[in-house]
């Protein structure tokens, strides 16, 4: 018998042997605890149109690949481990069911396709590649290893429990989802999406204030800043932080929520002042974005103060930096592009205005006529009262030490319609 025929024969014998073993175990499970000796399994396993049951207190280890054909029944109420020592494939034609644990614990890459798991623990130092839409019914535990979801596919969490994903939500986390993660979200509950990329690290995204139940899908785009059209005249004053962007999709049109953007990156937590950037246009057209000056830093996240103000679209961060003049006085970064009919702040804002003894503001239109003046400015120049266009302003900041700073620049007022 030739070598190739011998290998095929041995492989067929193994498949037959394991099929008989699994069927025998199935028959036993009807009246007793089913225990399969771990040393008896080696190589790839195929579960045909039969059933495999792992009882409570029992466990089974698959050291190689696994194929569950359509119509097969796999019910796990104990523990099923995948100890993939070599690169392996799981092809799940049926849902792996039961209340037990499925755990990927090998030190080699593994590719998963098919329906999904009841619950899954990823405890592998390598990647778990998901090349089809895959569902987790109850709980996903991310211990070690990255779940890499193919472009255009989703890893879907069917449970509405906010703790349906267990992960390390802190800087340095090395186990997260790369690609699109979709969560079945209930109204009024907070949900976190542990996403990122192997290149840029962990960048989770959270939502709360959801107005109605919906599936929320989030993917992280580390190169979003490179795609932003900063050459457009109307966006010259807008500079996005190079932390990237988050693309968020909803299953129901009009669903709104409050976003939390993580400031984690591969170098640690970014310091500074920020505001939230949002656009509903996937091409990020400069005339269709808002800068939320109400956004604030809360722990490791940038949070908008508005509830139910945002829906499907792209989110990113814009940095607010300060300068120091020769007298040692801090000059704040003033946002001079305001969308008058947007969902963010519509007033011209001086950051930390309460730290100044007096603020004087004069605003002129493009014809040189003064349209606004205040000797005790309180962030109340509201652009909603003025036509779209370019305005010139003079701003005098008087510190508590009687030092004066004069700032001259423009305010660009835009409208989406």
- Read off the pLDDT of residues 310-326 as tens digits, 9 standing for 90 and up: 999 999 988 766 677 77
pLDDT of 388-403, one tens digit each? 999 999 999 998 888 8
Residue 110 has pLDDT above 80, yes or no: yes
Determine the pLDDT at residue 7.
40
CATH architecture observed for domain 183-321: Sandwich (2.60)
User: What is the C-alpha separation between 64 and 14, in angstroms, rounded?
Assistant: 12
**Which of 75-84, 139-148, 292-301 has the lowest average pLDDT?**
292-301
Residues of the chain with pLDDT > 90, as a percent, come to: 35
Mean pLDDT, residues 64-79: 86
**Confidence band for 107, pLDDT divided at 50, 70 and 90:** confident
At the topology level, CATH places domain 329-414 in Immunoglobulin-like (2.60.40)
Which pairs with CB-CB distance under 8 Å and at least 24 residues apart come from 187-194? 187/211, 187/212, 187/213, 189/160, 189/162, 190/162, 191/162, 191/216, 192/162, 192/165, 192/260, 193/218, 194/142, 194/165, 194/167, 194/169
Identify the residue with better confidence: 243 or 121.
121
Determine the pLDDT at residue 216.
97
Backbone angles phi, psi at 149, to 5 degrees: -90, 130
- Asked whether the domain spanning 329-414 has the same topology as the one spanning 183-321, the reply is no
Residue 189 has pLDDT above 70, yes or no: yes
pLDDT of 250-290, one tens digit each? 999 889 999 999 877 655 556 556 778 888 887 766 667 87
**CA dihedral defined by 276, 293, 253, 235, rounded to 10 degrees?**
-70
Residue 307 has pLDDT above 70, yes or no: no
Give the tokens for residue 213.
């139940």
Residue 222 CB neighbours (<10 A): 18
Domain boundaries, the chain: 12-159, 183-321, 329-414
């Amino acid at each position: 018998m030739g070598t190739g025929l011998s290998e095929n024969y041995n492989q067929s014998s193994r498949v037959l042997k394991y099929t008989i073993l699994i069927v025998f175990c199935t028959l036993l499970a009807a009246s007793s605890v089913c225990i399969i000796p771990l040393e008896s399994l080696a190589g790839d396993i195929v579960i045909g149109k039969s059933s495999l049951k792992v009882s409570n207190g029992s466990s089974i280890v698959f050291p190689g690949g696994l194929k569950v054909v359509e119509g097969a029944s796999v019910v796990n109420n104990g523990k099923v481990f995948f100890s993939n020592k070599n690169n392996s494939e799981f092809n799940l034609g049926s849902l792996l069911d039961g209340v037990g644990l499925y755990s990927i614990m090998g030190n080699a890459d593994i590719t998963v396709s098919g329906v999904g798991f009841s619950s899954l623990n990823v405890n592998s130092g390598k990647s778990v590649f998901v090349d089809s839409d895959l569902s987790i019914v109850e709980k996903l535990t991310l211990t070690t290893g990255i779940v890499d979801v193919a472009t255009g596919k989703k890893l879907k969490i069917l449970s509405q429990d906010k703790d349906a994903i267990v992960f390390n939500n802190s800087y340095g986390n090395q186990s997260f989802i790369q690609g699109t993660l979709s969560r079945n979200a209930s109204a009024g509950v907070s949900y976190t999406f542990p996403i990122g990329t192997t290149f840029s690290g962990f960048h989770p995204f959270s939502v709360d204030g959801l107005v109605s139940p919906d599936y929320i899908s989030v993917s992280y785009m580390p190169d979003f800043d490179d795609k932003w059209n900063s050459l457009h005249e109307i966006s010259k004053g807008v500079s996005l932080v190079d932390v990237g962007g988050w693309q968020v999709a909803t299953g129901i049109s009009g669903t709104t929520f409050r976003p939390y953007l993580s400031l984690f990156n591969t170098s640690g937590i970014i310091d500074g002042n920020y505001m939230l950037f949002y656009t509903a246009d996937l091409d990020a057209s400069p005339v269709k974005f808002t800068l939320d000056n109400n956004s604030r830093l809360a722990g490791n996240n940038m949070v908008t103060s508005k509830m139910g103000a945002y829906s499907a679209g792209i989110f990113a961060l814009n940095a607010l930096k300060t300068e120091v003049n020769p007298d040692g006085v801090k000059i704040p970064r003033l946002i001079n592009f305001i969308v008058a009919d947007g969902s963010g702040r519509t007033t011209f804002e001086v950051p930390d205005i309460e730290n100044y003894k007096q603020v004087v503001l004069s605003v002129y239109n493009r014809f040189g006529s003064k349209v606004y003046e205040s000797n005790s400015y309180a962030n109340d120049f509201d652009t909603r009262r003025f036509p779209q266009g370019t305005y010139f302003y003079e701003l005098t900041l008087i510190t508590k030490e009687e030092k004066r700073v004069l700032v001259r620049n423009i305010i660009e007022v835009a409208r989406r319609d």
